A and B are shown apart, each in its own frame.
Chain A
Amino acid sequence: MVRICIAVHGALNKLKLNNYYFRKILSLAATLLVISFLVFAAFEIIPGDPALSRLGTNATPERIAALRAEMGLDKPFLVRYFLWMTECIRGNFGTSYSYNVPVMSMIGEKLPITITLTILSMSITMIVSVPLGIMLAKYAHRTFDKAGFIANQTIMSVPAFFLGILFTYIFGLVLHWFKPGGYVSYKQSIIGFIGFLIVPAIAIAIPKCAMSIKLLRAAVLQEADKDYVRTAYSRGNSTMQVMYRHVLKNALIPLVTFWGMAVADVIAGSIVIEQVFNIPGLGRVLLTSISNRDYPVVEAVILLIAVVVVLMDLVTDILYRRIDPRVRGNEKG
Chain B
Amino acid sequence: MLNSIRKTFRKYNNFFFNFGMIITLVFFVLAVVGCFYTPYNTTEMNVALKNSAPALAHIFGCDNYGRDIFSRVMEGIRNTFFISFFTVLIGSLMGILIGAISGYYGGKLDEILMRINDVMFAFPSVLLALVIISLFGSGTMVVTLALGIAFIPSFARIVRSEYKKQASLDYVQSAKLMGAKDIRVIFVHILSNILPVLVSSVMIGFNNAVLAEAGLSYLGIGVQPPEASLGRMLSEAQSYLFLSPWYALFPGLAIVFMVLGFSMLAEGISAAK
The chain A residues found within 8 Å of chain B, CB to CB, are 31, 34-35, 38-39, 42-43, 46, 146, 150, 153-154, 156-159, 161-162, 165-166, 168-169, 173, 261, 264-265, 267-269, 271-272, 275-276, 286-287, 289-290, 293, 295, 298, 302, 305-306, 309-310, 312-313
Contact = CB atoms under 8 A, between A and B. Distances in A.
Contacts of B267: 153
A169 B248 contact: yes
Contacts of A154: 256, 260
B238 A168 contact: yes
22 contacts: A34-B116, A35-B119, A39-B131, A146-B15, A153-B260, A153-B263, A154-B256, A157-B256, A158-B256, A159-B211, A159-B255, A159-B259, A161-B214, A161-B234, A162-B248, A165-B248, A267-B124, A269-B124, A275-B235, A287-B219, A293-B134, A310-B119
Nearest to A261: B122
Contacts of A159: 211, 214-215, 218, 252, 255-256, 259
Nearest to B245: A169
Ranked nearest first, the 9 interchain pairs of A and B with the lowest CB-CB distance are A268-B124, A157-B259, A290-B134, A162-B252, A157-B260, A309-B122, A268-B127, A268-B126, A265-B124
Contacts of B134: 289-290, 293, 295, 298
A271 B219 CA distance: 9
B130 A309 contact: no
B131 A302 contact: yes
A166 B252 contact: yes
A289 B215 CA distance: 18
A306 B130 CA distance: 14
A161 B135 contact: no
Given A35-B119, A168-B241, A290-B130, A264 B124 contact: yes
Contacts of B19: 150
- Among A162, A268, A276, A298, the one with the most B-chain Cβ atoms within 10 Å of its Cβ is A162
Interface of B: 15, 19, 115-116, 119, 122-124, 126-127, 130-131, 133-136, 207, 211, 214-215, 218-219, 234-235, 237-238, 241-242, 245, 248, 252, 255-257, 259-260, 263-264, 267
A161 B215 contact: yes
A162 B241 CA distance: 12
A168 B240 CA distance: 12
A31 B255 contact: no
B135 A42 contact: yes
B119 A31 contact: yes
Contact of B127 (A161, A271, A310): A271
Contacts, number: 112
Contact of B241 (A31, A38, A169, A298): A169
Given A289-B134, A298-B134, A306-B123, 5 more contacts: A159-B215, A165-B237, A165-B241, A287-B219, A302-B127
B238 A276 contact: yes
B131 A42 contact: yes
B24 to A, nearest CB: 12
Contacts of B15: 146
B260 A305 contact: no
A295 B259 CA distance: 34
Given A165-B234, A271-B127, A313 B245 contact: no
A272 B126 contact: yes
Nearest to A181: B238
A275 to B, nearest CB: 6
B162 to A, nearest CB: 19
B219 A162 contact: no
B116 A286 contact: no
Contacts of A43: 135
Contacts of A271: 126-127, 130, 219
Contact of B133 (A169, A265, A290): A290
A41 to B, nearest CB: 11
Contacts of A157: 207, 256-257, 259-260, 263
Nearest to B261: A157
Contacts of A146: 15
B119 A161 contact: no
A313 B134 CA distance: 26
Nearest to B264: A153
A309 B19 CA distance: 36
Contacts of B264: 153
B263 A156 contact: yes
Nearest to B207: A157
A163 to B, nearest CB: 9
Contacts of A166: 248, 252
A313 B122 contact: yes
A286 to B, nearest CB: 7
Given A161-B215, A305-B123, A310-B119, A298 B131 contact: yes
Contacts of A295: 134
B135 A275 contact: no
A295 B135 CA distance: 9
Nearest to B215: A272
Nearest to A265: B124
A295 B136 CA distance: 12
Nearest to A316: B122
A32 to B, nearest CB: 9
Contacts of A34: 115-116, 119
Contacts of B131: 39, 42, 298, 302
